[in-house]
Amino acid sequence: MATILFPSSFRCDCGHESHFCERTIREIKIMSRRKPRALICSEEPKHEIEFDGGEAVTILCPEMGRRAITGTE
């Protein structure tokens, strides 16, 4: 399962890591409390991290499809 790498990075099951600024993650968590939001990683292959209810919930992987985020490292 996909994991959150504390404090503002994410690792997909395919091994790809997406890194963001802490402020960006903090702001999107706040915005996702009202409406689901997504961040797209600029590195290839592009991964999309989906936020809902103030938390990161899934990663959309171009190779493996939708993967739930289950853990924190």
- Judged against a pLDDT cut of 90, whether residue 19 lies above it is answered with yes
Specify the number of domains making up the chain.
1
Please give the model's pTM, rounded to 2 decimal places: 0.90
Note the pLDDT tens digit of each residue in 23-73: 999 999 999 999 999 999 988 989 999 999 999 999 999 999 999 998 888
The confidence score (pLDDT) of residue 1 equals 78
Closest CA to 13 of 54, 70, 52: 70
Which residue range is the domain that position 35 belongs to?
A: 2-72
The confidence score (pLDDT) of residue 8 equals 92
The total number of residues written for the chain in this structure: 73
54 phi and psi, to 5 degrees? 85, 10
Question: Which structure tokens are listed for 7?
Answer: 């404090």
pLDDT band at 6 (very low <50, low <70, confident <90, very high): confident
